């Protein structure tokens, strides 16, 4: 077992400041879509939003072991602080690109729910974490999630996704991971047949 050097008051401050930032960013993004910006204050409640601290121990074979498998986030927005070690990568133009650590910056990820709610105007980015051969890596993330009963309604005249609740989405993701070993995510809720 390991202990973080973070104090609970520092984590509480990170959570409350991240919550305020996430709501502000979500409102700005909603206004750009000409959607109701108070949706997030009304539907993203504290008991479904959460903070996660991640520790990635050193790995002597970093090319063979992921710190975190490739995935998209199952929320509206993620606010991430990573230490100086790095390891976060995202897909850009079908290639993995390293996100250079900056101790004075936060990383903002659009999640699956925002992609569906915006009808694909904002994209949930696939990302992963690679391990480091000699140094452990730490990160802290805040996830802006709606209440379980909140309905995610796709915007626009030709919605790409059917309406679904956060509870339904989470359950489908969990079922897929259990059955298939990986997350399928938004394609399960697509209005288009492939």
Indicate which residues carry an active-site annotation. 137
CA distance 93 to 89: 13
Name the DSSP class of 190: B
| Long-range CB pairs of 119-122, under 8 A, 24+ apart, other chains included | 119/154, 119/155, 119/156, 119/158, 119/159, 119/160, 119/161, 120/160, 121/33, 121/155, 122/29
Residue corresponding to tokens 């659009």? 110
């Amino acid at each position: 077992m390991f202990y973080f050097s973070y104090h609970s008051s520092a984590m509480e401050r990170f959570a409350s400041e991240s919550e305020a930032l996430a709501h502000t960013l979500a409102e700005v993004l909603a206004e750009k879509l000409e959607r109701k910006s108070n949706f997030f204050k009304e539907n993203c409640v504290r008991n479904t939003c959460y903070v996660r601290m991640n520790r990635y121990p050193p790995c002597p074979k970093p090319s063979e072991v992921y710190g975190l498998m490739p995935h998209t986030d199952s929320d509206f927005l993620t606010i991430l602080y990573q230490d100086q070690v790095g390891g976060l990568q995202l897909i850009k133009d079908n290639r993995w690109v390293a996100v250079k650590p900056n101790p004075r910056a936060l990383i903002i990820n659009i999640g699956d729910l925002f992609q569906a709610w915006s009808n694909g105007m904002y994209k949930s980015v696939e990302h992963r974490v690679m391990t480091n051969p000699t140094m452990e890596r730490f990160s802290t993330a805040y996830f802006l999630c709606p209440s379980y009963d909140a309905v995610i309604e796709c915007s626009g005249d030709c919605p790409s996704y059917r309406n679904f609740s956060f509870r339904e989405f989470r359950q489908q993701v969990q079922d897929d991971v259990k059955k298939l070993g990986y997350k399928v995510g938004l394609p399960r809720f697509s209005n288009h047949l492939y």
